[in-house]
Structure 1
Amino acid sequence: MTKNKIKDVAYKQLAEKGYERATLSSIAKEVGIKTPSIYAFYKSKEDLFMAVYKDLLQDNHRHIKSSIDNLTNGTVKEKLYQILEAICHYHLSQPEKTAAYMKFTFFLPPTLNDEVKETFSEMEEVLGEMLESIFSEGIRQGVLKNQPIDDLIASFLCLMDGIFLELLYYQHQEDKFKRRVEQTWSIYWNGIYNDHEKAASSDEQSKKKL
């Protein structure tokens, strides 16, 4: 379908050239249509690239949700780690989409500033709902320290942002990137894990042995 082909070419050119150099004329040429034909589907360049950006975000979140859905019986720790693992796998296995997403993230066109932020916030809310369920479960089970859910969600989202930035630095050093993720995850989990529960469990085990 021409509309989807236009979007596919647009995100590829965004990844390769950046927003400013990815022109409607160059996109139309690669698709094999006249430039005015794009306006039958998108009212402007900004409209086209917002559609591309929304697709990138939705594709990323679908990948994360699918990974979590496959862990319905997993522990809280496994579910949280699976989110990070899903993100890393997605970006490492989709270099072109990741490059396009980075161009939007770090070289945001001023004309799209407000709309991009609003779209990102909407997608973040979807992820936040997923995290709220996992963190609430962890607190109920006593696995996590009893902290405000909003604080836990914010901390995890910041962890994700940090990992994404590491990917920018080490995208061509996959082993080093994965090692950084493991190191960061270990420190993060130890920070939210309810070690008092662990200590209480150990004490109970010791008493049983006496």
Structure 2
Amino acid sequence: MREKLLKAAIYHYSRYGYQGATMQKIATEVGIKPASIYFFYQNKEALFIAAFQKLLEEHFSQMRKIMDEVENSPIEEIFCSLLHGTVSYHKEKEEETAAYISLITSPPPEIKQFLKDHMEQFDNWLIQSLNTSLKHYYPSISGQQSVNVTKQFLLLMDGIFWEMTMYDENALSEQLQHAFHLTTLILRGIEDAK
């Protein structure tokens, strides 16, 4: 039942936002009375924190899986796999992506700190993972240069994420090719700095 409640909470949040995703709608979705939700979650905030935690952790888990699969690959392949993986994941999970977009663009005040902490944790993990890969392929790269390259890539990933919501498949494919080219230029900057 908990899983059904979390899924219904994400669905209604993606459609109606935090205020519009009422306990009544969620209860109706899973076939219980609204009061029954309180057996599983103390209040609406607790339900949504659990739902958002699930949503964000699934995304984080997918990014870790991609990184694990390519961690010994050439750095260009790592960057491209993360870009492709981000697009594929969010295209497959449109409902969750709609909730994610709503969450990060206008988080409920009760959730802001939780979201901020999660985003910092994800960014720190990605920076650390990419720094490790960069140092492996470019042993002479300075710590600051590695951080700069990683942050440039994060900006690129964020841009692709937002473009994914705006473009059709063909246009998005073209945007991904531009992103791959920019990745190559970023990495070429490391070579030029030697």
1:44-193 equivalences in 2 (<5 Å): 44-140=43-139, 147-170=144-167, 173-193=168-188
| Cα 1:87/1:188, change in 2 over 3 Å | same
Q: In structure 2, what residue type is equivalent to 1:168?
A: T
- How much is the aligned-residue C-alpha RMSD, in angstroms? 2.2
Shift of 1:11: 0.7
Moved more, 43-52 or 7-16: 43-52
C-alpha separation in 2, matches of 1:153 and 1:191: 10
Which residue does 1:205 correspond to in 2?
A: none
Q: Show structure 2 runs of 5+ residues with no match.
A: none
| Cα 1:145/1:88, change in 2 over 3 Å | farther
- Normalised to the residue count of structure 1, the TM-score between the two structures is 0.82
After superposition, the C-alpha distances for 1:3-28 in whole angstroms (9 at most, x for unaligned) are 11100111111122222211111101
Q: Is the 8 A contact 1:145 1:192 kept in 2?
A: no
Shift of 1:102: 0.9
Structure of greater Rg: 1
Instruction: Extract structure 1 runs of 4+ deviating beyond 4 A.
Output: 144-147
Match of 2:166, SS?
helix
C-alpha separation in 2, matches of 1:126 and 1:146: 16
Report the identity percentage. 27
After superposition, the C-alpha distances for 1:71-102 in whole angstroms (9 at most, x for unaligned) are 24411111111111110110111111111111
Q: In structure 2, what residue type is equivalent to 1:77?
A: E
- Normalised to the residue count of structure 2, the TM-score between the two structures is 0.88
Moved more, 81-90 or 13-22: 13-22
Q: In structure 2, what residue type is equivalent to 1:184?
A: A
Shift of 1:195: 4.1
Aligned pairs, number: 193
Q: Is the 8 A contact 2:79 2:183 kept in 1?
A: no
Shift of 1:168: 2.4
